[in-house]
Structure 1
Amino acid sequence: MVQGRTFGKLQRLCATIVGLVFLLAGIFKIFDPVGAGLVLEEYFRLVHLDFLLPVAKPLAVAVALFESLLGAALISGIRRVAVAFVTTVLLGFFTLLTLALAIFNPNIDCGCFGEVVHLTHLQSLLKNVVLMALSLFAFYPYRNLGTNKVRKDISFSIAAVLLAGFLVYSWLNIPMVDFTAFAPGSELIVSQDDVEGDEEYSSVFVYEKNGQQGVFTLDNLPDSTWTFIRTETVHFNRTDVSDAKIALPFHDSLGVSMDHLAADGNVLVVSVYDPARVRGEVWVNIADAIQGAQDAGFRPLLLVNSSREAMEGLPSIIPDAREKISGCTYYADRKLLLTLNRANGGATWFSDGQLIRKFNVRSLPDGEYFLSRSGDDPAEEMLDYSTKGRLQFEGFILNVSAILLLL
């Protein structure tokens, strides 16, 4: 009897581990619908199903939601036999898929955990083999798996509502945390060699606690008990640079590279990766944000995935908005603009080439915002923006996990 209970607990532990992986994998894709859609687009192109590209984003999000709900069901232990069969079938499919990827090694990301964790094809295969082994131990022979307590139906329902709400929020907004190359704190590399010699510069952040000061990088910030004091710029030999550097290539209508414009002073970059899908009122908001940034001393740049002729022929841009954007419009690659800002018409603030923060297309800043920030230290804005998003994201994951595990 005791051995039977111990074995049952081990089975539940294995099921919970598999569930946590599914839950996190789903959440990591839900919070970035555009990124999940890009991964699925690569799979469709790989197997020559290009006609499915228009539905890649909603389909990717639907699959991610299903993954997270399946993970929640595994953790809570509801409908155990049905959930066990579905889990095994899904893991079998993923194992075969990653086996094919490991054999043929195409140049695509497996997308298992979205942008948060990147695995090689071999690592993805090993991950799925381990999960399959855990699931077989937890479920085989798919009978007498026990029943859940009634409260677990409630905890699953609460988690499902939270996950659905999180999906809606993520669909309407840019990700809370940026795991792309264009994350806050990243620094631009420009095509022009403006820096002589082998010197590189980077920012560090000085915090204070109990009268003692400490120096931190963006990847190693202290907890909330520390107080931000100032930013310092340090220089070192170029061969010692390990910080992430990013390139933002764009050009004018004649094809001349103009990327140096984004690396000097305060710059607001509005990125539009699909101009034809931007409505007239959004163009008005974009034009107003550009005008407000310019009035506050920022350099506004509008980067579009288009051509001059196509932009001039867009009927959705009213004359007044066209006049405001005409002098700052440049052209860039679609995937680059998608990586820079997930919103079609979103904005990104750079200060001397360092990415400070991003804005969603539905909440573009106005002139008053820029005037209020023009005299502040941009690094403090960057830290506040990054920390707030990270705490919200981590808090959501912890709350959902706690509801499933503890309720």
Structure 2
Amino acid sequence: MKVLVGISRIFVGILFLISGLIKLNDPMGFSFKLQDYFAPDVLNLEFLVPYALVIAIFVVIYEVLLGVMIIIGYAKKFTLWSLLLMIVFFTFLTFYSAYFNKVTDCGCFGDALKLTPWESFTKDVVLLVLILILFFGRKYIQPFFTRFARSIIIFLSFIFCLGITYYVLQHLPIIDFRPYKIGANIEEGMSVPEGAPKPIFEYAWKFNVNGEEKIVTTSGEYPQQEGEFISVETTQIQAGYEPPIHDFSIEMGEQEFTIQYLTEAKVIVIVAYNRTTTEEEAYAKIREITNKAWEKGYKVIGLSASSREVMDELEAKYDLQFDFYFCDETTLKTIVRSNPGILELRRGTITQKLHWNDADDLKLE
């Protein structure tokens, strides 16, 4: 039991640390995931949506600290109860998401590692078992270092978490795990390579044969079956290749401009995914850098999911010399964790990506 507790302690601690630090690198992304859970068709907790970022920051910092606390043996009773209650809640949440197919990615490891709902639930069940081992074998959890040293470690860990959180919110994630990272080509990311796996479906054909129902299963072809056809049910038994970039488009009205701008030599893109939540104080800087870009021969466009009329008001209010095109809001939130954010594209390849706070760092040739 002592060995089992020791192994569980290290495994749980490291997993909580890794999971927490990955989300700490991108708390804005985790807040978007929480908003998915708060939606009316999931948990119906819409009143929590405005506080999603605060909740996300609290959860990820708490997760990192719990990982440190269980490893060094700090506040054993409090730590074990916290771990148990947290994993019970997340096990319920991942089971709910998997069973009802509500949220297809739990966000447990941010964009670094995508898990299906059932994979997330399985991971939480394993963690629950290990935490129960720790809970009932707590007498074998011996602390490391002195009490004062443990307190200093926790305090420094907390300060470290606050520092990282402040930095990534004022700038951008330190490590970009998304398909829109610097160096990625958007057009290539949307394409399906030759020979990529295709989805496999199973078809269950239902017939009425002499007053009795008979089901014939095929991989797609209509079966040679006597009797009256009733219905067919289609089930995907294996997913095909899905491009890392999808739902990306540049539109205005009924017109599509995606390929046009993805083949331009030099484009500056201002991403303002939602007019109501965009940072108004950013647009003095945005106007300054986009005017410079125009002078240096760049094409300059904006991308937003807000209506054309709303964005026209924004352009007029801040005397912006470029037009906003439409793009899906979820896609824009994935592209850059800043509202507004700044991209440089060279023939569809992302060569610069900046938070609006760092607009002055944009390099224009």
Please state which band the TM-score falls in when normalised by the shorter chain.
0.7 to 0.9
Distance 1:281 1:158 in 2: 33
Number of the residue aligned with 2:5: 11
Work out the number of aligned pairs and report it: 315
Distance 1:313 1:298 in 2: 24
Number of the residue aligned with 2:269: 269
1:157 to 155, 158, 164: 155
Inter-CA distance 30–166: structure 2 relative to 1 (3 Å threshold): same
2:258 maps to 1:259: yes
1:271-300 Cα offsets, whole Å, 9 max, x none, are 011224445542121111211222222211
Distance 1:360 1:115 in 2: 19
Inter-CA distance 77–310: structure 2 relative to 1 (3 Å threshold): same
CA contact (8 A) 1:11 1:139 kept: no
1:324 to 321, 325, 333: 321
2:97 maps to 1:101: yes
1:311-357 Cα offsets, whole Å, 9 max, x none, are 3334xx676x42523xx322222222111111001111111111223
Shift of the alpha carbon at 1:304? 2.2
Inter-CA distance 365–255: structure 2 relative to 1 (3 Å threshold): farther
Distance 2:99 2:76 in 1: 34
Inter-CA distance 245–336: structure 2 relative to 1 (3 Å threshold): closer
**Alignment TM-score, normalising by the size of structure 1:** 0.70
CA contact (8 A) 1:185 1:356 kept: yes
Q: Tell me the SS of whatever aligns to 1:82.
A: helix
Inter-CA distance 43–144: structure 2 relative to 1 (3 Å threshold): same
Q: Which protein shows a greater Rg? A: 2
Shift of the alpha carbon at 1:44? 0.7
Distance 1:323 1:183 in 2: 26
Distance 2:178 2:355 in 1: 16
Task: Trace 1:47-86 onto structure 2 (pairs within 5 A).
Answer: 47-86=43-82
Gaps of 5+ in 1: 1-6, 190-199, 202-236, 372-407
Shift of the alpha carbon at 1:67? 0.9
Number of the residue aligned with 1:338: 333
CA contact (8 A) 2:279 2:339 kept: no
User: CA RMSD, aligned part only?
Assistant: 2.7
Number of the residue aligned with 2:355: 360
Distance 1:370 1:18 in 2: 47
Shift of the alpha carbon at 1:61? 1.8
Number of the residue aligned with 1:36: 30
Gaps of 5+ in 2: 197-240
By percentage of residues, which structure has more helix? 1
Distance 2:4 2:320 in 1: 67
**Alignment TM-score, normalising by the size of structure 2:** 0.78
Inter-CA distance 247–13: structure 2 relative to 1 (3 Å threshold): same
Number of the residue aligned with 1:239: 194
1:170 to 163, 168, 171: 168
Shift of the alpha carbon at 1:246? 5.1
| 1:44 partner amino acid | F
Task: Trace 1:113-128 onto structure 2 (pairs within 5 A).
Answer: 113-128=109-124
